């Protein structure tokens, strides 16, 4: 979920190059919530704020489903709500290798945040 088009395009390309076969991008939390009613991603990259507000409810829905997520934000982690601090933090601006590293990290996580064997 990213509301800045150039960042969203970069993330889509990086995620595809990391081996994910389907990438869905949302610029609003409302559209993300609608999509989540019928789908469950393997991993999510979320920004704290989208066009229609703070994404706390989306982060909570992901956590409740056991979907690991990466928070891509220009905000400081220490200033974020608790729900966002449960995700892997990726500060903007970021390099493609940092995104790939975060994706590798969350691929091996369960809802409790501990690594598990594949």
Q: Residue 103 above 80 pLDDT?
A: yes
| Helices 5-17 + 96-107 axis angle, to 10 | 60
Q: Name the percent of the chain lying above pLDDT 90.
A: 49
* Residue 3 pLDDT grade (very low, low, confident, very high; cuts 50, 70, 90): low
Domain boundaries, the chain: 5-107
Residue 117 is predicted with a pLDDT of: 31
What global pTM score does this model have? 0.82
CATH number for the region 5-107 comes to 3.40.50.2300
**pLDDT tens, position by position, 46-60:** 999 988 999 999 999
Q: Name the percent of the chain lying above pLDDT 70.
A: 88
**Kind and range of the H or E run holding 57:** helix 56-65
Instruction: Cite the beta strand spans of the chain per DSSP E.
Output: 44-46, 49-50, 53-54, 69-73, 88-91
């Amino acid at each position: 979920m990213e509301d800045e088009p150039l960042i969203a395009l970069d993330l889509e390309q990086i995620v595809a190059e990391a081996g994910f076969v389907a990438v869905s991008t949302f610029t609003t939390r409302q559209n993300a919530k609608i999509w989540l009613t019928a789908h469950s991603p393997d991993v999510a990259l979320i920004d704290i704020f989208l066009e229609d507000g703070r994404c706390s409810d989306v982060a909570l829905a992901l956590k409740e489903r056991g979907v690991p997520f990466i928070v891509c934000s220009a905000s400081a982690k220490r200033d974020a709500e608790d729900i966002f601090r449960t995700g892997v933090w990726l500060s903007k601006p970021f390099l493609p290798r940092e995104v790939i590293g975060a994706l590798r990290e969350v691929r091996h996580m369960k809802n409790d945040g501990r690594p598990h064997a594949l």
